[in-house]
Amino acid sequence: MADAFDPNNHFQMLPSGKYADLPKETRDFLDELRPEEVETIRKFARLGKDGTAQLRDAIQLAQSVMTGGRLARWAIITVVGAFLGTLLLAEKIMQLIAWFAPSGCPPIIRMSIMSAVVVDAAVPAVGGTPPDAEPGAC
């Protein structure tokens, strides 16, 4: 049975010798196509010159939309990062300025934008001034 189909030797055998004049790469490509891919190629072949041009334009439009989406995503990430970075920088600048405040006491945390915690070395955490503390004393 030398004429029987052996899947180990050939992926697919062409049904006739009419494709023998095609280059080997083309025959290998055609051999590996699935039935749904063959139908897709047939539909593309029936589009004609105008349909093919429209298809190419549609593919280019889809690629452009995907590129614009990536650009928009990174623009949003950049804006959010710049906003948060500005907040953190402003908070640190406010803390630095608070060190040179007229009270003369180095604050633990004078004011925090992110957590809105107000704690000072001279004021207890519950709030208010201790009864025995002098104004402006550390």
* Average confidence score pLDDT of the chain: 76
Domain membership of residue 58 (yes or no) is yes
Domain membership of residue 39 (yes or no) is yes
Confidence of residue 131 (pLDDT cuts 50, 70, 90): low
Domain membership of residue 41 (yes or no) is yes
Range of the domain at 75: 17-79
Counted domains in the chain: 1
Task: Find which of 9-13, 17-21, 40-44 is predicted with most confidence, using mean pLDDT.
Answer: 40-44
- Measured over the CA atoms of residue 65, residue 85, residue 83 and residue 80, the dihedral's sign is positive
Domain membership of residue 31 (yes or no) is yes
Residue 111 burial class via C-beta count within 10 angstroms: exposed 0-12, middle 13-18, buried 19 and up: middle
Domain membership of residue 42 (yes or no) is yes
pTM, whole model, 2 decimals? 0.44
pLDDT, tens digit (0-9, with 9 covering 90-100), for 71-88: 999 999 999 999 999 999
Domain membership of residue 27 (yes or no) is yes
Domain membership of residue 85 (yes or no) is no
Domain membership of residue 126 (yes or no) is no
